[in-house]
Amino acid sequence: MTERALDHVGIAVHSLDDSLPTFESITGGKGYGRERVESQGVEVVFVGEGPGRVELLAPTRDDSAVAKFLAKRGPGMHHLCYRVASVRDELARYREVGARLIDQEPRAGAGGHQVAFIHPKSTGGVLVELVEAH
Ligand code: CMX
């Protein structure tokens, strides 16, 4: 089986401005790639490099997935994102084992990269994002 590298850990926060300094201090890096992903109702910023890379996610709408998560659980780890050669092939692999897919097809995520999410009920209670290697 091919190993898949961790691309980033997603952390839900109320405010990027308030939380970024904390994660810059933890990772030793500077924030970069700040962007609104309108389709997901989030604004994101990355910090850190390699397997310690973090994506901070703050909601831009009350009905977004991250707003619901914050209301229910408060700030904290939101998802793990794995880098894969082909999101489409990975979705087929998950589908074959009966996993619950949130996205049936790859779609554009942060940075315009192809992504898809797998429901946490199929992945040990952890929301999993797949991103196509870039
Ligand atoms: N991690 C683990 N469990 C989670 C979760 C998360 N991030 N979000 C929700 N859940 C759990 C809930 O606690 C709930 O569990 P229980 O039934 O045991 O209470 C269950 O999943 C269903 O939750 P829900 O509130 O009924 O469903 P939601 O409407 O909140 O949807 C989910 C949950 C995962 C389907 C939705 O958040 C989703 O579609 N996520 C994918 C998209 C996304 O997260 N986008 C933001 C990031 C974008 C980016 O990185 O660019």
pLDDT at 51: 86
Task: Say yes or no: CB of residue 79 within 6 Å of ligand 1.
Answer: yes
Task: Say yes or no: CB of residue 57 within 6 Å of ligand 1.
Answer: yes
Task: Please answer whether residues 58 and 13 qualify as being in contact, where contact means their C-beta atoms are separated by less than 8 angstroms.
Answer: yes
Question: How far does the centroid of ligand 1 lie from the alpha carbon of residue 108, in Å?
Answer: 19
**Strand-pair category, 107-108 with 32-37:** unpaired
Residue 74, both tokens: 């408060």
pLDDT at 134: 75
pLDDT at 94: 97
Mean pLDDT by 10 residues, the chain (134 residues): 90 98 97 95 96 96 97 98 96 97 95 95 98 88
Task: Say yes or no: CB of residue 109 within 6 Å of ligand 1.
Answer: yes
- Which DSSP category does 85 fall into? S
Task: Return the percent helix, strand and coil in the chain, to nearest 5.
Answer: 30, 35, 35
CA distances from 51 to 5, 26, 104, 125 (A): 8, 14, 27, 21
Q: Ligand 1 atom closest to Cα of 110? A: 51
Question: How far does the centroid of ligand 1 lie from the alpha carbon of residue 127, in Å?
Answer: 7
pLDDT at 3: 85
Q: Ligand 1 atom closest to Cα of 10? A: 50
pLDDT at 37: 94
pLDDT at 1: 67
Task: Say yes or no: CB of residue 124 within 6 Å of ligand 1.
Answer: no
